[in-house]
Structure 1
Amino acid sequence: MVQTSFSYDALPMRVRFGSGVVASLPEEVARLGARSALVLCSPEQRATGETIAGALGERSAGVLAEARMHVPIEVARRARARAAELGADACVAVGGGSAIGLGKAIALEHDLPVIAVPTTYAGSEMTTVWGLTENGRKRTGKDPRVLPASVLYDPDLTLGLPIAMSVTSGFNAVAHAVEALYAPDRSPVVSLMAEEGVRAMTRALPGVVADGGDLGARTTALYASWLCGAGLGATTMSLHHKLCHALGGTLDLPHAATHTVVLPHALAYNQPAAPEATAALARALGSDDPAGRLWNLAASLDAPRSLRELGMAEGDIEPVREQVLSAPYANPAPVTRDGVTRLLRAAWSGERPAPRS
């Protein structure tokens, strides 16, 4: 059935995709008219960040290797101060959602353009969404100033991504596409991208797991992450993301792994209330039960399937539930106390996902 009423705003950004495309980074910095770009990365990515800074030559303001999950406010403040101290007029964020999120935090205050060089499948580079964590609460918002001006997708940079992280990062991307398919502001363009993103990612991940050096599988996974991230960037988030923001901000659970565990449960909760999205996912996944198919795929790829194994205590269920209920996101199925409790309990214990009752 064709969607008969919608609006779609194309986001103003430039994407370059392909093996070796990171070599064009100096050109992209020059294209923005920037003279001094601060390279941002996590401590684990420092070597890559140093290589990128070296490639920028005199256009590099240095490397700040302090990016952390969920962008703690104290890290953001230090990065903002450092960018101002160095006189940076652009940022190059190298890595996953942590580095790109830190770049967005700087852009939010100093209005500096960001060039994203993703090395995971997180998808943050495709969105105007920012997030900051303070006092155990993760705040998110949207602002066009944080949208990267350019994104360089180079599959070569993903070859070293550990297999376990590749899997959870891939599921994180799929979660973006799933919610884009039933978002209240979806459009036919977004739905096409999201369905193809789910199809491509779920077909690429087994190849990545079989051989992390398979450039073909890595390229397909990165292509999928672009599509899934673009879907997230063009729509609003729903229950799945609200749950993950609460779990991550409050408990500091690993971001991608939390998405991996929660996704089949949040999808099962919403499937009966989102028949068109469920049909699209059924086509992409080759299953009439998309939530069950994702659950089984996670098992086959040795991904985590319970919040308990990520470090969540059973006693954390109630405070997380209350945070979700206090400010729920738009969602196709009603967000109820009993429903969220059952969802969290199943995700915590690692039960097979069940439809909302």
Structure 2
Amino acid sequence: MEAFVYTALPVRVIFGAGTLTRTGEELATLGCGRALVLSTPEQEEAAHALKERLGSTCVAVFTQAAMHTPVEVTARALERLKVAGADCLVALGGGSAIGLAKALALRTGLPQIAIPTTYAGSEATPILGQTDSGVKTTQRTPDVLPEVIIYDVDLTLTLPPLLSATSGMNAIAHAVEALYARDANPVISLLAEQGITALARALPRIVSNPGDIDARSDALFGAWACGTCLGAVGMSVHHKLCHTLGGSFDLPHAPTHAVLLPHAVAYNAGHAPDAMVRIARALSSDSAAHGLYRLARSLGVPAGLKELGMPEAGLDDAVRLAVAAPYWNPRPIEAAGIRRLLDNAFHGRSPATV
């Protein structure tokens, strides 16, 4: 066994069906009594229903969370928080709502309860990504880690099949990059392989039968496992490219992950052989990159960046931005190789060594 360093994250996890009912109890345990509930506009009804459930424990609702956590939205939410006199944050939704709660926690020090309704995994990480003037940056600090995560499988039953698929591929990306991270360790590598396996088996069942409660439970567990991996070790070229495309070109977060992942894995294949074996094994495939590509195709997610609204003329700018401030990666970041990677991803081609 090689030497390693592993830092466990201090977060309380409540997992099961019907666990949303425990939100008030968890707020009391935190010593909080004036919650601000956060959501996106699409989940406004669910946010107000949670407010009614919490009664006087909830003092306000803010339903304007947005993808990539724009700083101007955070400023509006911060004003709402101050006016309401909130002493804690409850994020209900996917990465947008949870990202907003993290941004507010960073600025105020308030405790958070995250209630994810997708498989994004952001709730399990001490990572905050924010967008300012079209540039997305990330930072890692325990100050943004939620104190409590409430996983309620029932809340994922209405997540549409396509959103389930792209969100699940997003989660898989977290575990994939954890396997070849610079600070990878045997604890997280075991969890990463388990998370990929759980999602790869559950997502096709969800697409064919969205009401399959067992598949939903397996996928939500996989999302937690993959998110925990992302929270424990560093990110590499895949996440750098997704952050660049999302922040600078406003591409949708989860679908961008789903499109790029097989191509990023192909880019790194020759420089992380042990990780590729584990990824392929988790997918029951003979190839990590092609296994991911085949899984994505079987789920019906978009094949290429072109389908997501990426302008082909912007590919060179994306390369420039990604290369200018790269994350550590097992293979050196080379502009020509990244350009070919993005070209393959733009056209939706089968992943190839670049």
TM-score tier after normalising by the smaller chain length:
over 0.9
Q: Counterpart in 2 of 1:213?
A: 211
CA distance in 1, matches of 2:252, 2:123: 19
Kindly provide the CA deviation profile for residues 275-311 of structure 1, in whole angstroms up to 9, marking residues without a partner as x. 1111111211111211101111111111111000000
Q: How does 1:185-264 map to 2 (within 5 A)?
A: 185-264=183-262
What TM-score do you get using the length of structure 1 for normalisation? Answer: 0.98
Q: How does 1:281-296 map to 2 (within 5 A)?
A: 281-296=279-294
Q: Is 1:169–2:167 an aligned residue pair? A: yes
CA distance in 2, matches of 1:324, 1:307: 16
4+ residue segments displaced more than 3 Å: none
Q: Counterpart in 2 of 1:352?
A: 350
Look up the equivalent residue of 2:193 and give its one-letter code.
E
Kindly provide the CA deviation profile for residues 202-246 of structure 1, in whole angstroms up to 9, marking residues without a partner as x. 100011001111111100000000000000000111000000000
- Residue 171 of structure 1: how far off its partner (Å): 0.1
CA distance in 1, matches of 2:269, 2:240: 17
- Residue 35 of structure 1: how far off its partner (Å): 1.3
CA distance in 1, matches of 2:75, 2:319: 30
Q: Counterpart in 1 of 2:74?
A: 76
- Residue 127 of structure 1: how far off its partner (Å): 0.6
CA distance in 1, matches of 2:280, 2:165: 20
Q: Counterpart in 2 of 1:132?
A: 130
Look up the equivalent residue of 1:334 and give its one-letter code.
P
138, 148, 152: which one aligns with 2:146: 148
CA distance in 1, matches of 2:239, 2:337: 16
Preserved CA contact (<8 Å) 2:166 2:258: yes
Preserved CA contact (<8 Å) 2:237 2:328: yes
CA distance in 1, matches of 2:265, 2:3: 24
CA distance in 2, matches of 1:86, 1:73: 20
Look up the equivalent residue of 2:311 and give its one-letter code.
A
CA distance in 2, matches of 1:195, 1:84: 43
Look up the equivalent residue of 1:251 and give its one-letter code.
F
CA distance in 1, matches of 2:251, 2:43: 20
CA distance in 2, matches of 1:335, 1:320: 13
Seq. identity, %: 52
SS of 2:234's partner is coil
CA distance in 2, matches of 1:288, 1:6: 29
SS of 1:277's partner is helix
Say how many residue pairs are matched.
Answer: 354
Preserved CA contact (<8 Å) 2:280 2:291: no
9, 12, 20: which one aligns with 1:11: 9
What TM-score do you get using the length of structure 2 for normalisation? Answer: 0.99
Q: Counterpart in 2 of 1:86?
A: 84
- Residue 135 of structure 1: how far off its partner (Å): 0.9
Which runs of no fewer than 5 residues in structure 2 stay unpaired? none
CA distance in 2, matches of 1:293, 1:345: 20
- Residue 89 of structure 1: how far off its partner (Å): 0.6
Q: Counterpart in 1 of 2:314?
A: 316
Q: Is 1:340–2:303 an aligned residue pair? A: no
CA distance in 2, matches of 1:236, 1:48: 34
Look up the equivalent residue of 2:160 and give its one-letter code.
P
SS of 1:266's partner is helix
- Residue 142 of structure 1: how far off its partner (Å): 1.0
Kindly provide the CA deviation profile for residues 29-62 of structure 1, in whole angstroms up to 9, marking residues without a partner as x. 0111011010000000011111111111111012
Q: Counterpart in 1 of 2:94?
A: 96
- What's the C-alpha RMSD, in Å, of the aligned pairs? 0.7
CA distance in 1, matches of 2:276, 2:330: 12
38, 41, 49: which one aligns with 1:40: 38
